[in-house]
């Protein structure tokens, strides 16, 4: 299944909106696009310190947007898991608090925690959309920007400590 030129334009405008929304914010590092050649996964990754990134991914064939934190540092991932456990919160509650501080009300958002391609330790929240046209809606764009901010709030201490080490 391929996507139309109209869908490509909607996706591009969505990505530009999200990237532009945080470009003037010094808390976000440089953004880099890392897309699969087949177009099935379109990722924008924001460098957040040594071995840490925030990421927004569009999966046009699903359709879905995924927002989260990833690191190549196994120990950093384990430190985060331990901090969440020590807080007494579930992973969902932990991310929910970050979202809440970012102005997004989402009770226990789904959080997928896994190792990707043997390289990245990922904490990701998927956002299902009905169709790619939804990416053009201000509500979806705003929600994704707040999700990104929520991950920054929730995982910010891990990113700061990785910069100091």
Residues of the domain holding 101:
5-164
For the chain, the domain total comes to: 1
Per-residue pLDDT, 161: 52
The model's pLDDT over 105-163, given as tens digits with 9 standing for 90+, comes to 999 999 999 999 889 999 999 999 999 999 999 999 999 999 999 999 999 887 765 44
8 A C-beta contact, residue 129 and residue 122: no
Reading the block at residue 45, the tokens are: 């990754």
What average pLDDT is seen over the chain? 93
Instruction: In whole angstroms, give the CA distance from residue 30 to residue 53.
Output: 10
C-alpha–C-alpha distance, residues 98 and 155, integer Å = 8
**Exposed, middle or buried, 27 (CB in 10 Å: 0-12/13-18/19+)?**
middle
Residues 6+ apart with CB under 8 A from 9: none
What six digits make up the tokens of 139? 């509500």
Residue 66 to residue 126: CA distance in whole angstroms? 4
């Amino acid at each position: 299944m391929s996507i139309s030129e109209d869908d490509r334009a909607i996706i591009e405008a969505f990505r530009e909106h999200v990237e532009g929304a945080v470009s003037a914010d010094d808390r976000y590092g440089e953004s880099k696009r890392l897309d699969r050649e087949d177009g099935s996964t379109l990722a924008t990754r924001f460098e957040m310190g040594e071995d840490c990134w925030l990421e927004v991914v569009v999966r046009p064939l699903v359709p879905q947007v995924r927002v989260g934190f990833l690191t190549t540092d196994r120990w950093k991932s384990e430190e985060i898991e331990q901090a969440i456990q020590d807080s007494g919160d579930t992973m969902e509650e932990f991310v929910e608090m970050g979202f809440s501080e970012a102005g997004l009300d989402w009770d226990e958002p789904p959080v997928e925690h896994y190792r990707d391609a043997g390289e990245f330790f990922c904490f990701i929240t998927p956002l299902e959309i009905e169709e790619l046209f939804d990416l053009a809606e201000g509500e979806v764009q705003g929600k994704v920007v707040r999700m990104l901010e929520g991950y920054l709030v929730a995982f910010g201490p891990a990113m700061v400590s990785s910069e100091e080490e």
